[in-house]
Amino acid sequence: MSDKYQSFTASPIGKLLVKNLGLPAPMKLDRYTEGAPLVDGTVVVGGRGRLAESLPGLLDTLGIASTEVAEEGATYKGLVFDATGITGSADLVALRDFFTPLLRSLDRCPRLVVLGTPPELLEGGERVAQRALEGFTRSLGKEIGRGGTVQLVYVAEGAEAATASTLGFLLSPKSAYVSGQVVRIGATGSVKAPAVQDWQRPLTGKVALVTGASRGIGEQIARVLHRDGATVLGVDVPQAASELQVVMKEIDGDWLTLDITAADAPQRIAHHLKEKHGGVDVVVHNAGITRDKKLANMQEDRWDSVIAVNLTAPERITRELLDQGVVNPNGAIVGVASIAGIAGNVGQTNYAASKAGVIGFVDSLAGELEDGITINAVAPGFIITAMTAAVPFATREVGQRLNAMSQGGLPVDVAETIAWYANPGSSAVNGNVVRVCGQMMLGA
């Protein structure tokens, strides 16, 4: 679905109006194409922390060219600054010293990453300074423009070698609609990351379960996980059987039709995975519904159905898969939350409660899982789908423009974020909630 406003602002008259009226000017975002290099250009690395020395080698492993010395007149696709050496507020000037001279040397759709230490693991002035990095990165994300993104990655001591998959995601077009986010690596104690044999197809030999896989975001999740090498089991309601089968046949996947809220759904899914696939490596709880009404007019069935599909079913399915040992060691569980679960939304008390519950689900399990299994969530913002296309024009336009990129995201943006979580190299990424929202201008 094309963004008509974006097309208009690229026209001669549109450019004139944008300049004279100060209108939003969304840039066409770079997005990843299968087989392309992760970064089409060079990344400048800097800083004096505990990751600085290893950064060039980590990027080289991913096929990303880097330099520690910027050349006058050159343009760069990304910047990575190791801020783990900042131990007090006076040291924060190092951020200005590194970024300010380079910001005018950036190519279109640049990617900027700051690396720090989780403040909760520190004390005193060092904790203060590391927490300050969040304000810096989120503000720079709203300044950078031209389709650029800015992220903060807190790396726990001992987890330095487990940062490659995260750097590969955040420096590449795969993170096109992710900005202003804070990612924690190794903060929950899991710091080992299995070796990734093929960064182009890191999920080769893995099995992925995706609920709600017949269309929209779920379909794109299935396709991206397949692209990365996974065998996908798509699950959807019987009414969507024909669409589900078409998608799964196209990606050589498997399918199962059922109502995930049914009493026997968790057992049926677990049985199918054990009998046909010998287990599962990636579990994506994507299925979700809306039944919007203001709370004063909210009927019981509207409330119950949303909570049942969006929250209770993922809880029950996950518990069954874990209890039966169906999730393989180093597996990944991913919940799909929503910006509504973070900021709330008029007419969506049921939906927002369910999606905030998904975040609570991640929090509750992150410290309990064993055998290297992780759990994380994505929280999509305004994603352009058939559902949002039906939203009234004015509401839709406002929803798309109230972020740092002045545009809506695509289903593939959510899928790429989930594929990063699913990557075996991300096994030290646990307990995170990353918003795929273009960085909302109001709030974080």
Selection from 367, 371, 360, 275 nearest residue 331 by Cα? 371
How many residues are given for the chain? Answer: 444
According to DSSP H, which parts of 324-348 are helical? 340-343
Instruction: Please give the radius of gyration of the chain, using alpha carbons only, rounded to the nearest integer.
Output: 22
In the chain, the amino acid numbered 87 is: T
Q: Specify whether the CB–CB gap between 357 and 312 falls below 8 A.
A: no
Beta bridge partners, 150, equal 112
CA distance 229 to 231: 7
Q: Specify whether the CB–CB gap between 207 and 254 falls below 8 A.
A: no
Helix axes of 241-250 and 216-227: crossing angle, nearest 10 degrees: 20
- 3 state DSSP class of 51: coil
Active-site residue 351, yes or no?
A: yes
Selection from 256, 259, 266 nearest residue 324 by Cα? 266
DSSP run (H or E) holding 255: strand 254-257
Question: Residues 5, 154, 351, 421: which is the catalytic one?
Answer: 351
Angle at alpha carbon of residue 233, lines to 229 and 238, rounded to 5°: 150
Sign of the CA dihedral with 289 first, then 355, 149, and 423 last: negative
Query: What are the residue numbers of the active site?
Result: 351
